[in-house]
Amino acid sequence: MTMRVTLKMIAEKAQTSIGTVDRALNNREGVSEASKARVLQVAEELGYRPNKLASALGRKRTIRIGAAYPYEPFDFFNDIDRGISKAMEELQYYGVTVEKIRYKTQDPEITRARLAQVNPTDFDGLAITSAGAMNVTEIDRFVASGTPVVTFNTDASDSRRLFYVGNNSRQSGLMGGELLTTFLHGQGNVTILGNFSLATPFIERYGGFCEFVQLEAPDIHIYPCSECRSVPELAAKCLMDLLEKVPDINGVFCTGYSSTAGAIEAIKTLGRRDIRVVGYDLTERTAAALREGWCSALLYQNPYHQGLQAARLLVRHILEGWTPPMPRLHVDTHIILRTNLESYMEPHYEWLQSNLE
């Protein structure tokens, strides 16, 4: 793999600032002839190839995009936020500003109320964690005003959004079904914990899990569990209530981070190490549960990468008119076990990701 030469690499070797490199490479004012010559020489030595964003910038110097996503659950959306912040850092050199549009939690009504406050004419494009189909109207309002929209992390496929960047939810549900079936040797009692009706990804993960179990593991019985929205404490209570009624549950599939955190809390409180949990998302909390044996596997959707790529690709569309060949750009779902956990923990994984981008 050939490493992409960045402005930062050129600046470091030329012993100057990234801004000076940007001006020199794009023949802008504000840089001396000597500095320009040095930058061009270093760029040639490193094999630099111009970024299309930079060449397109001449057609529109100031771009403003908005990124809408929740604060909670913090442990998960903190990674999304880091991806958006990384995009902000990169894109500023091309005259692009990114405004974070935050709201409390991943609830369709809360999302809708926050999006209703957004004036589409304030932005050249919007990247939105939609929280599902209930916000199609708001997304279509932005598009009708001439503001392109991409969705990330959660989709609204019936809207007029350009494309979606995020997890293949049905596939990850199938993966969860296969994992739990393997752990239980194809028989036992399981339940599914999560917020099924509030957002499309949770419905799709639920459906994928049930599809695999019904087709491939007829000796596994699925018990219903109450919806727990995005509240770990409620998820814990729901699972504990079910275990009181059906104590021989020996497997739990969680459709998201909040339900995973709640399931872990419930089985720790009850001391039920016999229950195999297949959860979602990597945080310090879920990593500790994996190390300690309270969780058997985690499905990882790389939220950092979702935030970063949603912003990057939206700007590419605005500046170049680029659209992807398919409406859904899926981020790979990884299976994390205790034996490969440390490969996904910082700083190792963060270094690897930054050098493969």
Q: What is the pLDDT along the chain (357 residues), one digit of tens a residue?
A: 345 677 888 888 889 888 888 788 877 778 888 888 898 888 888 888 766 555 555 555 589 999 999 998 898 999 999 999 999 998 887 889 999 999 998 778 888 999 999 999 999 999 999 867 778 999 999 999 999 999 999 999 899 999 999 999 999 999 999 999 999 999 999 999 987 666 778 889 999 999 999 999 999 999 988 777 778 999 999 999 999 999 999 999 999 999 999 999 999 999 999 999 999 999 999 999 999 999 999 999 999 999 999 999 999 999 888 899 999 999 999 999 999 999 998 654 554 455 444
- DSSP H/E element including 300: strand 297-300
Q: Which CATH superfamily is domain 7-50 in?
A: lambda repressor-like DNA-binding domains (1.10.260.40)
**Measured CA angle at 64 (ends 357, 133), to 5 deg:** 80
Beginning with the edge strand found earlier in the chain, give each strand of the sheet holding 149-152 in spatial order: 96-105, 63-72, 125-128, 149-152, 164-167, 328-331
The residue behind tokens 């293949």 is 168
Sequence-distant (≥ 6) Cβ neighbours of residue 266 within 8 angstroms: 235, 236, 237, 239, 240, 243, 272
Domain 169-300 top-level CATH class? alpha beta
CA distances from 120 to 62, 124, 270 (A): 16, 8, 50
Domain made up of 63-166+304-330: CATH architecture: 3-Layer(aba) Sandwich (3.40)
**Cβ contact 145:133 at 8 Å:** no
Structure tokens at 132: 């599902």
Write the DSSP symbol of residue 27: T
Same fold flag, 63-166+304-330 and 169-300: yes
* Of the candidates 321, 315, 319, the residue with the CA atom closest to the CA atom of residue 66: 315
* Of the candidates 270, 179, 189, 286, the residue with the CA atom closest to the CA atom of residue 232: 286
The distance between the two most distant Cα atoms of the chain, rounded to a whole number of Å, is 78
CA distances from 302 to 13, 17, 77, 111, 345 (A): 32, 31, 11, 22, 12
Structure tokens at 166: 């995020």
Spans of all domains in the chain: 7-50, 63-166+304-330, 169-300
Q: How much is the pTM?
A: 0.80
Structure tokens at 119: 């004036």
C-beta atoms surrounding 83 within 10 Å: 24
